[in-house]
Structure 1
């Protein structure tokens, strides 16, 4: 699936948002408006050395002059965040792809937002839009310590809608209270560390189906270890490839010389989402909803596989 935009962007401004988090305003070198987007969207940044990283758009949706992303410095990461913190200064030019949105804001009379650490970023434009609409909402935002929690100055303007909970002072988010009773009029949006999302999912098991919406930074689905070989027909290319147990569909397709847009290779970003024409999919991503998996119309070919011996893809 093609991205709506791929090209150069320039760092228009840079700001420290907290200890370990910087935000970048990214504009087009021409000064033209950036492509439009909706809350929950993210872009890919292609960094020197072949690194590609996904960052949630966290500025105002109505700002068509630039995109804002925020980057947490991760000393134990794979190098992308360190490069941004050390080198992405004003005037720096990068390649961007997107936006794409697998975490859309749906309509509801009331919202419950739950954020942990850098997981606040995709929720900021949601909160802004919901607040402007007049719908009811509240945010519960946790972090290790207050100094490490980004965008507190922006959130203070929402008053009692926002609960800030630094763990070193007040302990962890009180999910038992926050999610005490299922509410059919409320949608829950959560983003943050895997432990937080797991806990929220457990608390929301008694909520109505479709009430909870999450975005994960890492894939929590563990392969079974007994993968089998299967065939994939690339209908648009007229090529059939064999996918052995030790390769992903993405790797097999690329080895066959068929170009595919991809990024994370971990089933978290949605870049390689591909239309499925025939066959049953073993979904292993954390992007698609349960309903989308049951429909079987698309798959993330970087991690997902065939449940049967053959798939036909629109590639």
Structure 2
């Protein structure tokens, strides 16, 4: 790629946060602790579901993949961000930027579809419990998670390939802490109307489709709960959905804030903070949400704790 002065763009400078050079040591410690907690929490969820046979159900099958996806897309941006806090030059190579954008975009999009698949799973479990094992068979679960990954990588590969065919003539400084599409497009000198439209169509479709699936699933769930005569049944149904609803609200609430702020002429700092919450905080919070609010996960943790205690004694 060539700039307007004829020099080849081999790297991008990540400007990061305003004032990060003054408080880099605090930022480094805070984000390092968050990233370590994310690794421990999500790997713990994956191993717990794998070890405990009581959690070998479609619901936890999707939760395991949600933890894996969260782990992947935060790992696409967090290590490089931490490295730039302590480095003398906050840069990323051209190829590194492509890989980061591709991996982040693919797994972040897959996250949306897995959350939608989890909503469908809850809907079938509550609305049609007798047919649940048949409807949510192993084959259907595999098709749903493969479809989630496919849509994620399709979205990321198309957008990334078109973005990096552009010429970057407005310097090579990205006003962000990682390679994200809008700030990269801002560096391009050709007409980027097609790229913006492509990004809008893909992101718009993915968000709209998954949100509609979740909304309609919960409409059916609410209707089924209202028909229940048993208070215990209603309580169990609400308990089943509580963790997922919390995760969905946080995830799409943050995405909505990012979309509403994008395209304004205001400071980019609020958008960066939304990206921090979306890309760094949510992957850390999800294991806490599903472990603290989910009785099955808590029971599985207690059982493993008892076995470990018995083994030591």
Place the TM-score, normalised by the shorter chain, in its bin.
Answer: under 0.3
Q: Which has the higher contact order (CA 8 A, sep 6+)?
A: 2
More helix by percentage:
2
The structure that has the greater radius of gyration is 2
Instruction: State the TM-score, normalized to the length of structure 1.
Output: 0.25
Instruction: State the TM-score, normalized to the length of structure 2.
Output: 0.25
More strand by percentage:
1
